[in-house]
Amino acid sequence: MLRTVTHAGVAALLLLAGTPALAQSQPPAPKPAAVWKFLSPGDLDPATLLPPPPTDDAPAAVEGRAELHRIAATRTAERLEQARHDDQAEDVRSIADVLGPAFNLERFPATARLFADLQNDDGLAAKQAKAYFKRERPFLNDKALDVCDDGHDRKNSYPSGHATMGYAAAAVLANLMPGNAQIILARASDYAESRLYCGVHYRADVDAGQVLGNVLVAKLMTKPAFQAELEAARAELTLAHIAP
């Protein structure tokens, strides 16, 4: 038996049918802006902390791009693969991998919190400096460069955010585990060099990231809130016989 559908019924059916599509078409809510955990923007002034990078046509920048070509010509497949991995792995685990499986942040919530908050502040510090200097990536001035990933923001080359994070994380890890400081700091250096093997930064960008990361940690060491998290992590790792 056929039923007659009224105009109102048709409209209701269309409305119901369209509701999921409308819901799916809504853009996701924007993420809340990151805020400093331990520092404030005035604690680190990139204008006084870092020298300005060379202009794109300066001899130092020309030599910087030539260095990237030399690195690309001599890098092994294994080192390039490591650089690509490091490009994607931007947190303390990329530095702590030299410590072996015992350093597992899933087992140590206080340590995980410390490094999450550290990365928050080193990320904001690097972003602040990048926005101030607005240096173009080397591959924008040399299309022949072979890069791991050319999808990076164009004018945020200086300083390297990866290097900033790596050296900051290494400084804190070495403080927690001084007996492993040598291999931790060596890994941070190798991690920073991956930016050159990927062709996405000049060496000056990496050097500036090292300065920023270390100065950041020195400043954090004066903050009671950071010291409290550091000591909580130390107690946790000491209890697990990972830190002295």
Per-residue pLDDT of the chain (244 residues; tens, 9 = 90+): 444 444 444 444 334 344 444 445 566 666 677 899 999 878 999 999 999 999 999 999 999 999 999 999 999 999 999 999 999 988 999 999 999 999 999 999 999 999 999 999 999 999 999 999 999 999 999 999 989 876 667 789 999 999 999 999 999 999 999 999 999 999 999 999 999 999 999 999 999 999 999 999 999 999 999 999 999 999 999 999 988 7
Please tell me the predicted confidence (pLDDT) of residue 149: 74
- Residue 4 covered by a domain: no
Distance CA 211, CA 49 (A): 8
- Residue 25 covered by a domain: no
- Residue 87 covered by a domain: yes
3-state secondary structure labels for all residues of the chain: CCCCCCHHHHHHHHHHHHHHHHHHHCCCCCCCCCCCCCCCHHHCCHHHHCCCCCCCCCHHHHHHHHHHHHHHHHCCHHHHHHHHHHHHCCCCHHHHHHHCCCCCHHHCHHHHHHHHHHHHHHHHHHHHHHHHHCCCCHHHHCCCCCCCCCCCCCCCCCCCHHHHHHHHHHHHHHHHCHHHHHHHHHHHHHHHHHHHHCCCCCHHHHHHHHHHHHHHHHHHCCCHHHHHHHHHHHHHHHHCCCCC
Please tell me the predicted confidence (pLDDT) of residue 42: 84
Domain that holds residue 218: 54-239
Count up the domains in the chain and report the number. Answer: 1
- Residue 104 covered by a domain: yes
Please tell me the predicted confidence (pLDDT) of residue 31: 67
Q: Cβ neighbours of residue 10 under 8 Å, at least 6 residues apart?
A: none
- pTM more than 0.75: yes
Please tell me the predicted confidence (pLDDT) of residue 17: 44
- Residue 177 covered by a domain: yes
Please tell me the predicted confidence (pLDDT) of residue 231: 98
- Residue 24 covered by a domain: no
- Residue 38 covered by a domain: no
Q: Cβ neighbours of residue 1 under 8 Å, at least 6 residues apart?
A: none
- Residue 23 covered by a domain: no
Closest among 70, 98, 111 to 191, alpha carbons compared = 98
Q: What is the CATH number of the domain that holds 147?
A: 1.20.144.10
The two structure tokens encoding residue 92:
């303390």
3-state secondary structure labels for all residues of 83-131: HHHHHHCCCCHHHHHHHCCCCCHHHCHHHHHHHHHHHHHHHHHHHHHHH
